[in-house]
């Protein structure tokens, strides 16, 4: 498993929204400037985050984007899965008939355990925690 630019930049987008959580909606151009990510790329990333229910949009002169929930209720796992898809190291984990060895394949069980560990860790890290760590930097 490799987290792509989509996952990394989406996390930074969400971090910016978390750090400005009580300021109301924020324009993508302001996030672009603050995080040094192209506006065009942010426009592509915001849609899956919105579809996943992590971000909401507001129209009008005072419009923009904001978190759909408070930062402590949004996990890093949710962000990554919204833009990258399910977290899994190998395809056979969630496909029972992936190969003939799936019933007695010890490596499949190991990959499943590791995937579960990664998934649990990402689920425990919230946007609030990421923002807290960022403020210490």
| pLDDT > 80? residue 94 | no
SS3 75: strand
Report how far residue 24's alpha carbon sits from residue 72's, in angstroms, rounded to the nearest whole number: 17
Domains, the chain, ordered by start: 5-86+126-136 (1.10.10.10)
pLDDT digits (tens, 9 = 90+) for 29-69: 999 999 999 999 999 999 999 999 999 999 987 789 999 99
Name the nearest CA neighbour of 131 among 21, 11, 7, 18: 18
């Amino acid at each position: 498993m490799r987290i792509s630019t989509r996952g990394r930049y989406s996390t930074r987008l969400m971090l910016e929204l978390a750090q400005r959580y009580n300021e109301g909606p924020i324009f993508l151009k302001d996030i672009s400037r603050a995080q040094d990510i192209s506006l065009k790329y942010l426009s592509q990333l915001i849609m899956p985050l919105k579809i996943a229910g992590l971000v909401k949009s507001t129209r009008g002169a005072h419009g923009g984007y904001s978190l759909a929930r408070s930062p402590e209720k949004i996990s890093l796992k949710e962000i990554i899965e919204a833009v990258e898809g399910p977290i899994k190291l190998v395809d056979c984990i969630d496909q029972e008939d992936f190969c003939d060895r799936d019933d007695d394949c010890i490596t499949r069980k190991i990959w499943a355990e590791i995937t579960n560990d990664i998934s649990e860790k990402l689920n425990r890290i919230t946007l609030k925690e990421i923002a807290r760590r960022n403020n210490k930097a």
